[in-house]
Amino acid sequence: MTLADTESHMQKAVEATQRAFNTIRTGRANTSLLDRVMVEYYGSPTPLKSLASINTPDASTITIQPYDKSSLTQVEKAISLADIGLTPNNDGEVVRLNIPPLTSERRQEFVKLAGKFAEEGKVSIRNVRRDAVESVRKQEKNSDISKDEALDLQDEIQKLTQKYTAKIEELLADKEKDITTV
């Protein structure tokens, strides 16, 4: 595993953490809340965003307009089962999700959830580091690189680990600020 590969894997871990953060609801309507919603459509689970137009007409409402009107009830059911804490309202044309203001207890729950996602991202980065260090040690053992080169590479890998862990901490701080801002 090269340094470029290691950095690429760590960057992907940060991006995955960012996507996970996007699924946490703040006080405003955000279409990424529905990214994880899968709709049972003609017998196969399909992402909601490929079945419907999703919009935020104002700060406290999300509207979902299915391309196929017959799938309206499946969309409504999938949102109910997705455990995003919102109740869908179906008017025969579109599904509306009203985003209620968050209570302080709910905000704290979301902060904890964000912390959990951040920790998962950091674990992922540490796993990449472990794999990269093992690769360097194998190369050293096979005499492909010298001991000094191996130590230098391990230092570089550690620097990358610290850099990307700091990025996740930064994302977490931003998300916590978003969640706690009333």
Token pair in block for residue 115: 């912390």
Q: pLDDT value at position 81?
A: 83
pTM higher than 0.75: no
Q: Look at residue 57 and give its three-state secondary structure.
A: strand
Whether the pLDDT of residue 182 is over 70: the answer is no
Whether the pLDDT of residue 26 is over 80: the answer is no
Whether the pLDDT of residue 160 is over 90: the answer is yes
For range 62-79, the mean pLDDT? 87
Q: Where are the beta strands (DSSP E) in 9-126?
A: 38-41, 44-47, 52-58, 61-66, 88-90, 95-98
Q: How far is CA 104 from CA 10, 99, 115, 148, 181, in A?
A: 33, 15, 17, 53, 10
Per-residue pLDDT tens digits for 114-150: 999 999 999 999 999 999 999 999 998 988 889 899 9
What pairs with residue 6 in β-bridges? none
**Highest mean pLDDT, choosing among 22-36, 94-108, 130-144:** 130-144
Higher pLDDT, 171 or 80: 171
User: Which residue ranges form the domains of the chain, and what is each CATH number?
Assistant: 3-22+103-180 (1.10.132.20), 31-98 (3.30.1360.40)
Closest CA to 110 of 4, 23, 41, 30: 23
